[in-house]
Structure 1
Amino acid sequence: MLKTITPEIRKAIAQQAKRELARRSYRDYVEYVHHGHYRHFRHTELICEHLQPIADGEQHFIMIEMPPRHGKSMTVTETFPSYFIGKNPDKRVITAAYSDGLATKFGRVNRNKFNEFAPEIFGVQLSESNAATKDWGVSGRNGGMISTGIGGSITGQGADLMIIDDPIKNMKEAQSQLIRDNIWDEWEATLSTRLHDGASVIVIMTRWHEDDLIGRLLARSPRNWERLRLPAIAEDEDDLLGREIGEALCPELGFDEQWAEEKKTEVGSRTWAALYQQRPTPAGGNVFKKEWFKFYVMDQAQKREWGLSNDVVVLPKIFDKQAQSWDCTFKDTESSDYVVGQVWGKKKADFFLLDQLRDRLSFPATIKAIRNITDKWPHAKAKYIEDKANGSAVIQTLQHEINGIIPVEPEGGKEARANAVSPFVEAGNVYLPHPNICPWVNDFIEECIAFPNGKNDDQVDGMTQALNKMQTAKSNPLDRYKNMLGRR
């Protein structure tokens, strides 16, 4: 006679089945240990799929790049160590984060999960004598977890699994060369030296800067890294989740396409590309993108002859104001920076680069060049020259010979000045001579899109100085009628 299966027995069987699934599958374990307060999405299931082989004994080096508030830490750093140690109670885990406080949190939540669930799922227990939040172990076994902030002490500790979760705190730290160097030094001199033979590494980041830890690992590490780059909005045909271009990563959490458009407007293109698309150097440029720049020709005949699109405009004959902008470095050697002199015209909201000189010049040659440009462009009344280093000597030499020389005290760094004018370029208000007229324009654009990581930035400095000053300077109404351009 068959014994009746009571609801209690059925519930016990179901619970036992869940425990067995949690033991076998990290995907199920994450759900199980959060007491129903965790929900999987496509991207979290993909992450679990890549972490499972590590728990099963394989060696992997994985980078996970995700936008904020999409569950990366909860899915990985706050949970995976407890699972890894449960399955491998003689193995060690080290987790590192930007602060000691965050690292302590990672240690505590994993310890608590291990203490609550390891006995029933894996048959092992937390050590009573070694149960600190930042350093805990397994009773009667060699395994355990230690957590540290970047730069903290892990002397004598080794790892079979190392997780580095957001080593950079914020944008301010990301922009600091010193902090990025310190993080890299910590990886090279400390963290990487603690890896046991066959150890795995997981690096989890929201990207802030192209030269961050992931950027340097991609450029310098000899290890075979698996890269899980999960942008907020799909932009590649081979998207890891099989998304269509333009499809959101997790609309279930409210991060849909409409949210993306609003967030991009709110934070700007550069921050959006880095923080949300995990592409700190935007396609086609960093501060400036190639497609933002517009072109002009001299007349309609040129436009028709070359079959140019409607985006190419005819150069205005009258400008509201014109100005020169100079970036002076006169060492006159093959390795020195260039002297750049530019002439810009402004017509309502639009800026036009009318002329440029770029060469390695001595001091006398620089003075002569400024005189020549002044003769060539008499309506460029203002001559903006950065008042530091070589520029100061130029100002002192010419201030009583050429009128309109305006010393410019640089405010903020080069990137800050470039970011201040990047909206003008993005909005399509900056026009360059068409490359058919001036082939050097191609090099100009390449320097702009490589900034701030390119070899040279003199043309960018000239442009940002001109646009910043011309945007705020008041124009003389008489100049609007006098600045008639002839062919030059």
Structure 2
Amino acid sequence: MIREEANKELARRSYRDYVEYAHFGLYKHFPHTDLICEHIQPIADGEQKFIIIEMPPRHGKSMTTTETFPSYFVMKNPTKRVITVSYADTLARKFGRKNRDKVKLVGQKLFNVNISPLVSKANDWELENSGGGMISVGITGGATGHGADLLVIDDPFKNREEAESLLMRDKVFEEWESTFLTRLHGGGSIIIIMTRWHEDDLIGRLLKKSNFKWERLRLPAVAEDENDLLQREVGEPLCPGLGYDKKWADDKKVQVGSRTWASLYQQRPSPADGNIFKRHWIRYYVPNDEFKRKYNLGDEVKVLPRLFDKSVQSWDCTFKDTKKSDFVAGHVWNRKQGEFFMLDREHDRMNLPTTISAIRRLSTKWPDAIAKYIEDKANGPAVMQMLKGELTGMIPVEPDGGKEARANAVSPLFEAGNVYLPHPLYKPWVEEVIEELVSFPNGQHDDDVDAATQALNKLRIGKKSLLDRYRDLM
């Protein structure tokens, strides 16, 4: 009896203990679930917090949070209300039912509360005589007429197909802004729990655009840096106690591929070392020896040659003149024998007039780049028509294969160390190009990749012996 009373008192005071108590001994904590409980406990104690939790699948994220925390929060704060959201009404209803059933089982014993017999549906329940409760809806189901002191969003995307759909990503974000965020009461808290599919998913956008002070709990399946939240060693798995050990991680990475492993399991939609283009393949140049000495750069950094064999412009002209449209990218690339150098870049969201101005500007700046390759789709034909008779060397390029095929065709040039980008100390904008290269094909934008691969595919023509060497290496 004394032990039972002690366990009940611990469950009242500590959410960590409540999780174990409410699952009747069928739940076991691990370091990462301890961390989650530590961070969300203050919400139940009355503190306003905005928390993002990124975790791989099957590691207890929903059981620890969405299926359990709303019941604890409402019982401790019986006048407060919770809205829980997921990608489908059926899953949201499951979350509602799990929490309702916990209140039925332990509510009277722990907090002297009960479910109201008048409002007791799985997706909409209340506490008796207090007004607190929980509703559960799909991300597109809306929550009209309901307010929340706690908003929990658990996996708003069903799968990769949904997450890779710009239409769906826009729809989820629109629901966040126009529906659910407007339901939050003053002083209310938010918990967002996801496995990541895409860098432009809900978490990606919130980290870029939201003015909330987010606490981000990013918990990759395998630790990959010294700043790991659990102070794991690099390479240490998140939860070997559940069978997800190093061997499981090695096997799973092979099974699902590097792209899915990086996003779904590591919560890093862009692989740290890249996908088609590896970060460690990037080579740099600087304008002269004086610059190299000034910044004490090593021998691996090349000095830009004075003369080149060929110079070209390459343009990816996709514009809609909206804030959500892709960028227009224009590059200047030069070739010196078997080496390729990116010299300049125009990059912005542009409409037709500003694109025309950018091409004129780059043509004046680099008169030797006579060939101007412009992809013969989207807005390319309109651009060429506008500049016809004014600029020479405009060449329409019919895309050969998909974007990934064109990228794979030139990736051996990067791997062999024959492609040079300006050093970030020389041209800081190159860091944006690098991030887009290593994020491709699952990055938010690919305009720089399109412009670069188009230029390199044209410049490499005539280098058959070099390309044969690359094929031998593959």
Quick check: TM above 0.5? yes
Counterpart selection for 2:399 from 409, 417, 421:
409
Q: Which residue of 2 aligns with 1:432?
A: 419
Counterpart selection for 1:254 from 220, 243, 253:
243
Unaligned runs of 5+ in 2: 287-294, 303-309, 320-326, 347-354, 470-474
Q: Which residue of 2 aligns with 1:50?
A: 39
Say whether the 8 Å CA contact 2:330–2:451 is kept in structure 1: no
The residue type equivalent to 1:134 in the other structure is N
| Distance of 1:25 and 1:330 partners within structure 2 | 54
Q: Which residue of 1 aligns with 2:145?
A: 156
1:374 CA displacement: 9.4
Q: Which residue of 2 aligns with 1:106?
A: 95
Say whether the 8 Å CA contact 1:100–1:149 is kept in structure 2: yes
Counterpart selection for 1:450 from 436, 442, 451:
436
1:435 CA displacement: 5.3
Q: Deviations over 1:280-315 (max 9, x none)?
A: 345576874542324799xxxxxxxx99989789xx
Q: Which residue of 1 aligns with 2:305?
A: none
| Distance of 1:120 and 1:114 partners within structure 2 | 10
Say whether the 8 Å CA contact 1:434–1:441 is kept in structure 2: no
Q: Which residue of 2 aligns with 1:146?
A: 135
Q: Which residue of 1 aligns with 2:49?
A: 60
| Distance of 1:162 and 1:184 partners within structure 2 | 15
The residue type equivalent to 1:292 in the other structure is W
SS of residue matched to 2:204: helix
Counterpart selection for 1:353 from 328, 337, 340:
340
Q: Deviations over 1:216-266 (max 9, x none)?
A: 322333332222222222234332222223322212223233433444444
Say whether the 8 Å CA contact 1:327–1:391 is kept in structure 2: no
1:126 CA displacement: 1.3
Counterpart selection for 2:380 from 362, 386, 390:
390
Distance 1:222 1:373, change over 3 A: closer
SS of residue matched to 2:26: coil
Counterpart selection for 1:219 from 184, 187, 208:
208
The residue type equivalent to 1:432 in the other structure is V
| Distance of 1:477 and 1:429 partners within structure 2 | 14
Say whether the 8 Å CA contact 1:137–1:145 is kept in structure 2: yes
Counterpart selection for 2:10 from 15, 21, 26:
21
Counterpart selection for 1:276 from 265, 272, 277:
265
Counterpart selection for 2:29 from 18, 40, 43:
40
Q: Deviations over 1:171-218 (max 9, x none)?
A: 222222222222222222221221222221111111222332222322
SS of residue matched to 2:186: strand
Trace 1:453-468 onto structure 2 (pairs within 5 A): 460-465=449-454
Say whether the 8 Å CA contact 1:264–1:272 is kept in structure 2: yes
Q: Deviations over 1:106-161 (max 9, x none)?
A: 11111112112212222211111211110011122211110011121322111111
Distance 1:240 1:156, change over 3 A: same
Higher mean C-alpha displacement, 274-283 vs 77-86: 274-283
SS of residue matched to 1:101: helix
Identity of aligned residues (%): 50
Counterpart selection for 1:192 from 161, 181, 185:
181
Counterpart selection for 2:79 from 87, 90, 108:
90
SS of residue matched to 1:211: coil
| Distance of 1:286 and 1:108 partners within structure 2 | 41
1:462 CA displacement: 3.9
Say whether the 8 Å CA contact 1:288–1:449 is kept in structure 2: no
Distance 1:365 1:151, change over 3 A: closer
The residue type equivalent to 1:409 in the other structure is P
| Distance of 1:222 and 1:439 partners within structure 2 | 31
Q: Which residue of 1 aligns with 2:192?
A: 203
Say whether the 8 Å CA contact 1:338–1:361 is kept in structure 2: no
Distance 1:422 1:238, change over 3 A: farther
Unaligned runs of 5+ in 1: 1-11, 298-305, 314-321, 376-382, 482-488
Number of residue pairs the alignment of both structures matches: 434
Bigger Rg, which one: 1
1:391 CA displacement: 6.2
Say whether the 8 Å CA contact 1:285–1:450 is kept in structure 2: no
SS of residue matched to 1:130: strand
Trace 1:128-147 onto structure 2 (pairs within 5 A): 128-147=117-136
The residue type equivalent to 1:428 in the other structure is E
1:449 CA displacement: 2.0
Say whether the 8 Å CA contact 1:285–1:448 is kept in structure 2: no
Say whether the 8 Å CA contact 2:219–2:266 is kept in structure 1: yes
SS of residue matched to 1:93: strand
Q: Which residue of 2 aligns with 1:7?
A: none
| Distance of 1:462 and 1:149 partners within structure 2 | 40
The residue type equivalent to 2:180 in the other structure is L
SS of residue matched to 1:164: strand
Distance 1:161 1:480, change over 3 A: closer
Say whether the 8 Å CA contact 1:287–1:449 is kept in structure 2: no
Distance 1:326 1:22, change over 3 A: same
SS of residue matched to 1:201: strand
Higher mean C-alpha displacement, 51-60 vs 445-454: 445-454
Q: Deviations over 1:436-484 (max 9, x none)?
A: 9x9989866641423579999665224434778999x999789989xxx
1:167 CA displacement: 1.3
Say whether the 8 Å CA contact 2:313–2:370 is kept in structure 1: no
1:70 and 2:56 matched: no
Distance 1:150 1:261, change over 3 A: same
SS of residue matched to 1:148: strand
RMSD (Å), alpha carbons: 4.8
The residue type equivalent to 2:103 in the other structure is F
1:179 and 2:163 matched: no
| Distance of 2:153 and 2:383 partners within structure 1 | 50
| Distance of 1:358 and 1:59 partners within structure 2 | 45
Say whether the 8 Å CA contact 1:230–1:240 is kept in structure 2: yes
Distance 1:340 1:236, change over 3 A: closer
SS of residue matched to 1:86: helix
| Distance of 1:42 and 1:161 partners within structure 2 | 25
